[in-house]
Amino acid sequence: ADLSGSSKYSNESFEGRSGEGFHVNSNDVQRVHPELWRNGTCISDTPEISFKKRKLFESKTSPSPIRLMIKIPRFEAACPLCGVNIWGTGTLGKHLTSRHGNVKVCYICRKCNKLSSNCHSIACHVPKCTTPLAAQLMGTLCALCGKRFTTNRGLSQHMRHTHPLENEQKISRLQTKRPTHQRVDIFTPNKKRCISRSIIKMVMKSEGTNSTSDNNAELLIKALGKNRKPKNLDPTRQPMVTEPMSSKTRRLYKTASFKSYQMMYDKDQSTLANLILDGRDITKCKIPMATLHATFLMRWQRKTEYKGLGPFRSIGGVLNDTLYKPITPSEVINNLNKMKNGTAPGPDGITKKNLTNWDVYGVALALEYTRWLIQGTIPAAVKECKKGLLPKSTNPDDLEITSNWRPITIGSMLLRLFSRILTMRLAQACPLNPRQRGFMTDANGCAENLMILDNLIMNSRSNRTTLAVVFIDFAKAFDSITHDHILHALKRRGLDHHIWGLIKDSYESCTTRINCGKITSDTIQILVGVKQGDPMSPLLFNLSMDPLIQCLEDSTDGLELNGRRISTLAFADDLVLVSGSERGMSNLLASLEKFCRLTGLSVQPKKCCGFLYDRGLLNARDPWRLEGLPIQLINPGDKAKYIGVHIRPDKGIVPPELKEDMIRWLTNIKKAYLKPSQKITILNTFAIPRIIYKASMGKTPLTYLIEIDRIIRKAVKNWLHLNSMTSNGLLYFRICDGGLGIVRLEKLIPTIRMKCIWGMCYSTDNWTRAVAHEMVKQPEWDRLWKATGGTPGTAPKPNRVPDIDDDPGNMQAIGLPDWRDQENLMWEKLGQHNKGVAMFRNDKISNTWLRDPRKVSFKPKHYLMGLALRSGLPPTSIDRYSVSTQTNPACRRCGTEPESLSHILGRCTYVKRNIIRRHNKLCDDLQTEMERYKWEVLREVQIPNKNGVTQIPDIVALKNGTVLIIDVTVRYEISNFPLTLAAEEKVSKYAGIGPIVMHMLCAKTFKVFGFPIGVRGKWPTCNNPVLKAIGLPANRRISFAKFLSRRVLLYSIDIVNGFCKI
């Protein structure tokens, strides 16, 4: 059926049910005070009600007016005197004044029995009223006028405004004379010594040599400058601790805060997120620039003695052939596209967007970079850098120390792009030891090292074998490694001399400045360390540390397990030494000390830690020593932090504590001066990603993730004023599918862990493959598969068994289920009101308002109500955002059908005028667009068909001998009845009058179209041919479709608001 309505509907009134009693026979008052009522008539009122009645009903001109009391909210639409259906309370008041002149109308709140002759006053009071009837009749009594108040604060405010004279007299009675304070003289040292001598003489002359009198003590205290406060002060004169903020000041403060938050949201969302989540902007360093400059000057220009590599060498070699090829335009474009958008420009101000716009195809940049490669030099203009500071901690106290700030090099975008291209070639030419997993582009190094270490600890505990582990902490490794060390490691590996000279030239005469806010330091020349932030720096550091790792792996002091030996787990400068004996660990530490003495690197023994597990005993031996200092041993119950994850010697990886942080972040987001859609953006983009790494790498239990998801859902529904019964699918759907795109940790974290383990099964490292295949055989693999939504017992298995020397083979797809698709199916199955949500999947036109409502001029109230309509839950009480928990309750407005969202938006007679108005406005929008393209449009032309039945299509348009017959319909989105069927229905209905209209307008051809649109903004693809027939170009068809989709949704929101209107 056509639920849209049209102007063809008759304008006759609709009979409502008989109105309930509107006189002063309130059932609530009868229940509280039954003795005041007799036969439905009030025989006695409370003093306040009697006072208001006399004030409202007494009249000098009319001796006996009809007294009528209307209870708000109104549950009936009929006039209590004549039975005519009235639209709204305000309209009822006008009707009573014009049709029933001799009537005194009083409006009463159903909840608190508040009386007023002003309808607007009570209508505004009702939604905010939370006072029960008993509190109104039994509150605190005012002794002067007899009014009652529920709180003492209400009574005091009433005394201030209604009885100001009495209030001032009370204040004056409580006031006492403020005690005067004597001025305390400031004595000079000589005067104090004189006073002291005089007091000593006075005390010596007093009676009693063993004690000092009270007078002498008072004089002594007074002479020494102590100003003692009076002991008994009037408590009424004590000052307040804080001055309360007035309502106007509070309003201005909120307005200013909201404006500043909105400006920061548009300019820098990352900074705003740090301000909201952490309570302060931790990205801004507060340390004085002089201190920063002195510290980093000493660090980057210090002279470190480099003695060579000695016996340490790499055995990987170099494939120099890959380094000589000219740089191609495709290579430039591929690397440029992989760089992050919005990354900070260097001192020259060139951004990624500038490069993309200047050289679209990368030809000019490829020629210039090839010139650099051939000449072997870097232009001096791009060597200048600037340093930004990133915090290492979120603790404000730690950020007052310079060492807790990491300097990041921001060089020219031209040099960064060239370094990235050269790094990709150098990584292929110089293979690293497989134990170095830092900054690997084809592997998740963090996951691999953590899972290997956890596997070693679990095997040692289960098999009661010896395991020695030490976590090494280098002192500013990236900033202290010498340039000679880097160049010597490259030369000893066999790197081509020309490329070696190019890398050397990139660090010669390289200068930087420290940027801290708007303050910039003097120029500092970089003589030591790699440029953190430059794409080539991680690879150069790994190549410099590769001789140490190779030496440790070649030794026999490592841990042997299942025919494989391992000595180190390295992730850049995060190094873990592993051995199968105490003596073996001592030998590994000795090799590390020797490498540091030769290269100038240094370790921090006080920050190093480790443990020894020997046949069931933990740390039963003396601690190892490093550089003469003992290494701290990890006791049972203690834990060490490695790559952001806590490790315990008795349990391996320890699940992190995430719930407290998430609760704090959600609370901060709630209090932030942001719009609802902006709060969702901060949550999705910044808050939840903070815990994903820890949750996925820390073996977080599934029940713990479910609890965090529940906390997030509760907070989001609170922000968006959604009922708790709202389906979770609205939250977890992708934005392009009609949801909010919030991550469900219960599904995402097992998916991430399974992908990591599956990728490790095809790693080039035999240790990684072996550990991964062992994990696949464990029951945890099946539990992860079930948690992702897979069918139990069908978890995928790798297609081959790993071997130490074999190639890992071709990686097959794991085939994980899409948990968001599963949420879609669950949402569709849960309840009748969820039917049709699948129609919004992968619909960028109908869901355009969900990502950023401000871009489409959606106010927050429209955004919130639009989400409520998408949820399918009708607002079935006076509160527009509440929902009914009853099973198919009858519509409270018309009573003809069960109250549902489809009934309200299409068939309810109470809002029939609004439904017709929505239909007509859509026709107006379509007519306006057609007239822009020179169509002659006729609206609602009555045309008899061949059977004599008059048909009235919405639009008949003529242009160049072509007639378009279009009929608009607005339907509720239901999967069982798609909108395409509605279009076909309209075509079959009006196809018979096509030749008649063509003959009437002397046209050559005609086309008949149905134009259906969903009441919640669904745009069906069957409308695209209509817009194409009108003549709209492709871009305009998309923009106009988005416009109509949003218009329909806004018109439907107006209908719901009219339905809920008091």
The pLDDT value recorded for residue 303 is: 74
CA angle 396, 402, 403 (to 5 degrees): 100
pLDDT at 281 > cutoff 70: no
pLDDT at 238 > cutoff 70: no
| pLDDT bracket for residue 11 (50, 70, 90) | very low
Q: What CA–CA distance (Å, rounded) separates 44 from 546?
A: 97
Q: What average pLDDT does range 954-963 have in this prediction?
A: 95
CA 969, distance to chain mean position in Å, is 38
The pLDDT value recorded for residue 549 is: 95
Burial class (CB in 10 A: 0-12, 13-18, 19+), 41: exposed
The pLDDT value recorded for residue 92 is: 82
Pair 383, 510: CB distance under 8 Å: yes
The pLDDT value recorded for residue 43 is: 41
pLDDT at 165 > cutoff 50: yes
- Residue that the structure tokens 């005091």 belong to: 156
Give me the residues paired with residue 958 across strands: 936, 963
| pLDDT bracket for residue 215 (50, 70, 90) | low
The secondary structure of 754-788 as a DSSP string is HHHHHHHTT-SSHHHHHHHHHHHTSHHHHHHHHHT
Percent over 90 (pLDDT), the chain: 46
Helices 766-776 & 445-463, crossing angle to 10 degrees?
70
Helices 483-493 & 537-554, crossing angle to 10 degrees?
60
Helix (H) or strand (E) holding 588: helix 582-599
CA 187, distance to chain mean position in Å, is 62
Q: What average pLDDT does range 380-409 have in this prediction?
A: 83
Pair 905, 1056: CB distance under 8 Å: yes
Q: CATH says 66-128 is which class?
A: alpha beta
| 406 three-class SS | strand
Q: Which two tokens stand for residue 559?
A: 């841990």
Q: What average pLDDT does range 65-94 have in this prediction?
A: 77
Q: What CA–CA distance (Å, rounded) separates 902 from 1013?
A: 14
Q: Which two tokens stand for residue 257?
A: 């805060």
User: What pTM value is reported for the model?
Assistant: 0.75
Q: Which residue has the higher pLDDT, 584 or 36?
A: 584
The pLDDT value recorded for residue 934 is: 94
Least confident segment among 130-144, 266-280, 285-299: 130-144
Q: Which residue has the higher pLDDT, 89 or 819?
A: 819
What's the N-to-C CA distance of the chain in angstroms?
Answer: 29
The pLDDT value recorded for residue 593 is: 95
Q: What CA–CA distance (Å, rounded) separates 592 from 436?
A: 16
pLDDT in tens, 517-570: 778 888 888 888 898 888 999 999 999 999 999 999 999 999 998 888 999 999
Question: Do β-strands 103-109 and 66-72 pair in parallel, antiparallel, or remain unpaired?
Answer: parallel
pLDDT at 242 > cutoff 70: no
Q: Which two tokens stand for residue 676?
A: 């609802």
- Residue that the structure tokens 């400045």 belong to: 513
| pLDDT bracket for residue 320 (50, 70, 90) | confident
Q: What average pLDDT does range 703-718 have in this prediction?
A: 96
* 214-233 exposure pattern, b = at least 16 Cβ within 10 A, e = fewer: eeeeebbeeeeeeeeeeeee
Burial class (CB in 10 A: 0-12, 13-18, 19+), 1036: middle
Please, which residues have CB within 8 angstroms of residue 753's CB and are 6 or more apart in sequence?
696, 784
Helix (H) or strand (E) holding 172: helix 164-174
The pLDDT value recorded for residue 1025 is: 96
Q: What average pLDDT does range 760-776 have in this prediction?
A: 90
- Phi and psi torsions of 430, nearest 5°: -120, 90
**Strand ranges (DSSP E) for 511-552?**
511-516, 519-520, 524-525
Q: Which two tokens stand for residue 425?
A: 């070639």
Task: Kindly give the residue spans of alpha helices, DSSP state H, lying in 788-911.
Answer: 819-829, 848-851, 860-871, 901-906
Cβ–Cβ contacts within 10 Å for residue 621, how many?
A: 11
Q: What CA–CA distance (Å, rounded) separates 69 from 45?
A: 15
Q: Which residue has the higher pLDDT, 353 or 166?
A: 353
Percent over 70 (pLDDT), the chain: 83
pLDDT in tens, 914-933: 999 999 999 999 999 999 99
Pair 915, 904: CB distance under 8 Å: no
Q: What CA–CA distance (Å, rounded) separates 906 from 915?
A: 7
Least confident segment among 351-360, 620-629, 882-891, 902-911: 882-891
State how far the alpha carbon of 455 is from the alpha carbons of 450, 461, 475, in Å: 8, 10, 29
- Residue that the structure tokens 């995430």 belong to: 658
| pLDDT bracket for residue 202 (50, 70, 90) | low
Burial class (CB in 10 A: 0-12, 13-18, 19+), 848: buried
Q: Which of 967, 957, 964 is nearest to 937 (CA)?
A: 957
CA-based torsion, 544, 548, 554, 560: positive or negative: negative
Least confident segment among 5-9, 377-381, 704-708: 5-9
Q: Which two tokens stand for residue 740?
A: 């909010």
| pLDDT bracket for residue 114 (50, 70, 90) | confident
The pLDDT value recorded for residue 200 is: 53
Q: What CA–CA distance (Å, rounded) separates 47 from 844?
A: 62
Q: Which of 15, 20, 14 is nearest to 76 (CA)?
A: 20
Pair 598, 308: CB distance under 8 Å: yes
| pLDDT bracket for residue 876 (50, 70, 90) | very low
Least confident segment among 331-340, 379-388, 947-956, 1003-1012: 379-388
Least confident segment among 164-168, 411-415, 489-493, 755-759: 164-168
The pLDDT value recorded for residue 544 is: 94
The pLDDT value recorded for residue 324 is: 81
- Phi and psi torsions of 965, nearest 5°: -110, 115
| Winning range, highest mean pLDDT, from 29-43, 208-222, 941-955 | 941-955
Q: Which of 106, 104, 100, 70 is nearest to 88 (CA)?
A: 70
Least confident segment among 301-310, 351-360, 766-775: 301-310
Pair 973, 1018: CB distance under 8 Å: yes
Cβ–Cβ contacts within 10 Å for residue 508, how many?
A: 13
Least confident segment among 175-179, 398-402, 555-559, 571-575: 175-179
Mean pLDDT over the full length of the chain: 83
Task: Kindly give the residue spans of alpha helices, DSSP state H, lying in 224-282.
Answer: 247-267, 269-278
| pLDDT bracket for residue 192 (50, 70, 90) | low
Q: Which two tokens stand for residue 558?
A: 């490592």
The pLDDT value recorded for residue 742 is: 96
The pLDDT value recorded for residue 23 is: 38
Give me the residues paired with residue 951 across strands: 943
Q: Which residue has the higher pLDDT, 137 or 978?
A: 978
Q: What average pLDDT does range 149-161 have in this prediction?
A: 82
Least confident segment among 123-127, 280-284, 305-309, 877-881: 877-881
CA angle 401, 405, 408 (to 5 degrees): 155
Q: What average pLDDT does range 456-484 have in this prediction?
A: 92
For residues 1054, 1055, 1059 and 1062, what is the CA-based torsion angle, rounded to 10 degrees? 20
Helix (H) or strand (E) holding 560: strand 559-561
pLDDT in tens, 32-77: 444 444 444 444 445 455 545 554 444 444 445 677 888 888 767 6
Using only C-alpha atoms, the chain has a radius of gyration, in whole angstroms, of: 40
Length of the chain, please? 1062
pLDDT at 955 > cutoff 90: yes
Cβ–Cβ contacts within 10 Å for residue 896, how many?
A: 13
pLDDT in tens, 334-360: 999 999 887 888 888 888 888 888 888
CA angle 431, 308, 554 (to 5 degrees): 45
The pLDDT value recorded for residue 188 is: 62
Question: Do β-strands 609-614 and 632-633 pair in parallel, antiparallel, or remain unpaired?
Answer: parallel
pLDDT in tens, 1005-1016: 999 999 999 999
| 1007 three-class SS | strand
Q: What CA–CA distance (Å, rounded) separates 300 from 523?
A: 12
Q: What CA–CA distance (Å, rounded) separates 708 from 666?
A: 11
Pair 72, 112: CB distance under 8 Å: no
Q: DSSP code of 265? A: H
Residue extents of the structural domains in the chain: 66-128, 320-569+581-652, 658-856, 891-1060
Amino acid at 985: E
The pLDDT value recorded for residue 198 is: 64
Please, which residues have CB within 8 angstroms of residue 268's CB and are 6 or more apart in sequence?
none
Q: Which of 283, 248, 269, 286 is nearest to 400 (CA)?
A: 286
CA 857, distance to chain mean position in Å, is 21
Write down the CATH number for the domain with range 891-1060.
3.40.91
Least confident segment among 492-506, 674-688, 923-937: 492-506
The secondary structure of 719-758 as a DSSP string is HTT--TTS-THHHHS-GGGTS-----HHHHHHHHHHHHHH
Helix (H) or strand (E) holding 959: strand 955-959
Q: Which residue has the higher pLDDT, 865 or 63?
A: 865
Q: What average pLDDT does range 667-675 have in this prediction?
A: 95
